[in-house]
Amino acid sequence: MRWILILAALASACVHANPLAYDLQPRQIADGVWLFEGSTDNFSQANGGNIVNTGFIVTDKGVVVIDSGPSRRYGEVMRQAIARVTDKPLLKVMLTHHHPDHVLGNQAFSDVPIAALPGTTALLVEQGDTMAENMYRLVGDWMRGTEVLLPTESLEPGMLEVGGRTLQLLALSGHTGADLAILDVQSGVLFAGDLVFYQRALTTPGTPSLATWLADLDQLQHLPWKQIVPGHGPLASDAAPFAQMRDYLGWLDGVMRSGAEQGAEMNELIRTAIPERFAGVNLSRYELIRSVSHLYPRYEQAAMQRVDR
């Protein structure tokens, strides 16, 4: 009996010795296309920042990785998971934008070309270290050893042939000012990055404008996609993510435009009732507060009339 207790104690110690383990399970969503789906929660020490959708495409000659995740540890586990699916070499990592949950796994792919839009690289140079420091504060020891690793290649919009597969690259700007969307032409899978959130409230601090974002959605929806991988939220095979995004962006714009016209204070707007139709959209209140904090001054400025004219 004593030996059983000792073995149980040792087993328990082993489990607790490495609690910071990402459970990344690749899910095949189309021929040659795989998805790692994150939660729709906020960053926390419970999830290690795994709130993001990443993925990979297996071509005839090797693997294209879409985003590297929120930490070095995530990238390493992701790479191990890819190796369980295929023994083909990694050809390229493509980054949809510069936000930390999408790029801080780059170190795990330091021997592979890492490609991004020029604007994404510029934003990562400007903001990367600060974002990484903030991630350390948000998720703690999951980030151990994580540093910013910059892209080594630049991407341009258009058709790109990789390993016998055709990828249509779109350079858009609604979310951060430099946003890459990737359509795998063969399967019709659209990796939309954070231009599309689904069942999770969108983040707006880096957007040039909500109108720009809406225009980007029009471009994406007109592509010949069959499935949509949002940056955050569940996979979709219909236009529901686009409808929800347009509805949410329109509501958000209306809240701030109306508030500015009426001279409302920021504290009033952050207490705006969330419409019932967004009840299932995670973090709506949290992101409303952030959006008002970052965007409302623009609306106030636009609504002000100069008294010297």
DSSP for residue 279? T
pLDDT over 90 at 72, yes or no: yes
What integer pLDDT is reported at residue 256 of this predicted model? 97
CA–CA dist 108, 128 (Å, integer) = 17
What integer pLDDT is reported at residue 251 of this predicted model? 98
Phi, psi (5° rounding) for residue 156?
Answer: -125, 150
CA–CA dist 57, 82 (Å, integer) = 10
104: its two tokens: 């801080």
CA–CA dist 223, 187 (Å, integer) = 13
CA–CA dist 83, 104 (Å, integer) = 20
- Residue 20 pLDDT class (50, 70, 90 cuts): confident
Tell me which H or E stretch contains 218: helix 210-221
Model confidence pLDDT, tens digit, residues 192-251: 999 999 999 999 999 999 999 999 999 999 999 999 999 999 999 999 999 999 999 999
- Residue 282 pLDDT class (50, 70, 90 cuts): very high
Mean of pLDDT values over 282-297? 96
- Residue 305 pLDDT class (50, 70, 90 cuts): confident
pLDDT over 90 at 306, yes or no: no
pLDDT over 90 at 17, yes or no: no
Direct distance between the N- and C-terminal alpha carbons of the chain, in angstroms, rounded to an integer:
90
Model confidence pLDDT, tens digit, residues 54-65: 999 999 999 999
What integer pLDDT is reported at residue 9 of this predicted model? 41
What integer pLDDT is reported at residue 168 of this predicted model? 98
Q: What residue ranges define each of the domains in the chain, with the CATH number in brackets?
A: 19-303 (3.60.15.10)
Q: CA dist 289 to 2, 214, 295, Å?
A: 56, 20, 10
- Residue 3 pLDDT class (50, 70, 90 cuts): very low
185: its two tokens: 């032409």
Q: What is the DSSP string of 256-279?
A: HHHHHHTT--HHHHTTPPPPGGGT
Mean of pLDDT values over 141-162? 98
What integer pLDDT is reported at residue 304 of this predicted model? 81
Mean pLDDT estimate for the chain: 93
pTM, whole model, 2 decimals? 0.92
